[in-house]
Amino acid sequence: MPAIDHPLRYATVNELHARPFPQLGVPSTAVYVAIKEPVQAQNRDRAADRAHLLALLDRHGSAHPQPGATHFQGTVGRAELKWESHTEFVTYSAFTKGISARPFDPAEAEVLPEDWLAAAPGKRVVSLLIRVEAMPAQDAQLLEMVEGWLVPESLAISRVVDGAAVVAGDFHIDPAGHMRFAVFVQPDTGPRRVGRIVQRLCEIETYRAMSMLGLMRARDLGGRLNALDPMLAGLVSGLDNVEPASEAALHDLLKISAELESLAVQYSFRFGATMAYEAIVAQRIEALREERIRGRQTFGEFMMRRYDPAMRTVKSSESRLKGMAERAERAAELLRTRVDVERSAQNQRLLESMDRRADLALRLQHTVEGLSVVAISYYAVSLAGYLAAPLAKAVGMTKETLTALVVLPVVALVWALIRRIRKSHH
């Protein structure tokens, strides 16, 4: 059969199934870590990420992923490992059956060794401990447990996925460096659904953390824009003033515009990624289909109070940068127009000066022409006198008399000749 499929058909379909949800029994423990290099995504060393994964697998004699793979599932000791390579970061998830007697025991995170994490080609941006256990018989007992484990002031708890489970978290980092989430599961909830709920929690925290990087950059950008804003405002307000000179003002304005464009290049990737991550966080929370428990705040309400203002700050900084760049561009156009008008007026004055000089030159030329007639006539009369001297004796006239008679005809002839030459040139 001839090849009738597009060469990327199978690759695009397989991408839909590239990252399956884990299957988790009850009780179980999930350890999740996200690592990001402190550089932009296009500069990531993916070979180093793969080498770091292989170092963990080799410790346990586990199989290696295929070359060029962006996801992998395997076994490391008693835990099921899941590795994923994303645009800006890589994630490691380790799922273990059973739970520790001490809730959120830091020893649970040792499935991803500390020395191995320290050698990662990047820095840890997310570290989660997720405790999955059976649902208590009463809500009061459940609330008592989570309020003893987590910080009550920032506790977010809700019933999710049509009552299949209850999730709780406080979005605080504990002394061991981990963030804690608790998942209480109904007895009839299947392992796939439990895995999806745990995966959603990991994604919510990961994309929340990644989007908050945009807030840090927005604060840094705010300081730089605060320094440029009064300079730009001063230049714009001085557009109708004589001082400073238009060329100097335009140079200063172009310098500000260049700096604003440089800032736009530096921050556009981070702000664009922040908006994308924010949309994913909102979608993942919506997918939980939360229901309130005894008046406690839900994950959505927590994000609305704590997270959404940060995202609005990022959007405000992005809009401010864009607005300042547009203002600088408009001011530059006005200044260019002012410079063009001033140069046109200067050229007009120069042309008028050239006209006056040309008129003076023409008058001088006419004066010189008059003197030229006299000078040429003088020499012509002298030559005529020499030529007529023999005739003067023949007609009985003196040389002086004959010279005097030829003066007027010679002057008239010279004047007519010069006039004809001038007319032919004009």
pLDDT by residue (tens digit) across 122-133?
999 999 999 999
Classify residue 376: in a domain, yes or no: yes
Strands of the 71-76 sheet, one edge to the other: 71-76, 79-85, 89-97, 28-36, 123-134, 179-185, 165-173, 156-160
Tell me the backbone φ, ψ of residue 161, rounded to 5 degrees. 50, 60
Of 290, 319, 349, which one is at a domain's C-terminal end? 349
**pLDDT bucket at 425, cuts 50 / 70 / 90:** low
**pLDDT bucket at 421, cuts 50 / 70 / 90:** confident
Classify residue 81: in a domain, yes or no: yes
Classify residue 228: in a domain, yes or no: yes
Q: What is the pTM of this model?
A: 0.78
Q: How many domains does the chain have?
A: 3
Contacts of 356 (CB under 8 A, 6+ apart): none
| 222 plus 178 within the same structural domain | no
Task: Let me know if 333 is exposed, middle or buried by CB neighbors in 10 A (0-12, 13-18, 19+).
Answer: exposed
Q: Is 410 within 8 Å of 377 (Cβ atoms)? A: yes
| 288 plus 326 within the same structural domain | yes
Classify residue 149: in a domain, yes or no: yes
Convert the pLDDT of each residue in 306-331 to its tens digit: 999 999 999 999 999 999 998 888 88
Q: Which of 165, 125, 127 is nearest to 146 (CA)?
A: 165
| 343 plus 371 within the same structural domain | no
Of 349, 374, 406, which one is at a domain's C-terminal end? 349
| 74 plus 185 within the same structural domain | yes
pLDDT higher than 60, residue 290? yes
Inter-axis angle of helices 191-237 and 308-394, to 10 degrees?
Answer: 40
| 378 plus 343 within the same structural domain | no
- State the Cα–Cα distance between residues 313 and 215, nearest whole angstrom: 7
Token pair of 379 as six digits: 């020499």
Q: Half-sphere exposure (CA, 13 Å, Cβ side) for 47?
A: 0
| 220 plus 331 within the same structural domain | yes
| 178 plus 45 within the same structural domain | yes
For residue 286, give the amino acid letter: E
| 343 plus 367 within the same structural domain | no
Q: What is the pLDDT of residue 231?
A: 87
| 267 plus 184 within the same structural domain | no
Q: Is 125 within 8 Å of 33 (Cβ atoms)? A: no
Q: In terms of pLDDT, which residue wins out, 23 or 2?
A: 23
Classify residue 207: in a domain, yes or no: no
Domain range enclosing 398: 363-425
Of 349, 376, 392, which one is at a domain's C-terminal end? 349
| % of the chain residues with pLDDT over 70 | 94
Classify residue 253: in a domain, yes or no: yes
- State the Cα–Cα distance between residues 164 and 189, nearest whole angstrom: 6
Contacts of 405 (CB under 8 A, 6+ apart): none
| % of the chain residues with pLDDT over 90 | 57
- State the Cα–Cα distance between residues 1 and 364, nearest whole angstrom: 97
| 178 plus 303 within the same structural domain | no
Q: What is the pLDDT of residue 79?
A: 94
Classify residue 103: in a domain, yes or no: yes
Q: What's the average model confidence in pLDDT over 252-261?
A: 87
| 334 plus 386 within the same structural domain | no
Token pair of 148 as six digits: 């003893």
**pLDDT bucket at 182, cuts 50 / 70 / 90:** very high
Classify residue 165: in a domain, yes or no: yes
Convert the pLDDT of each residue in 185-228 to its tens digit: 999 999 999 999 999 999 999 999 999 999 999 999 999 999 99
| 139 plus 263 within the same structural domain | no
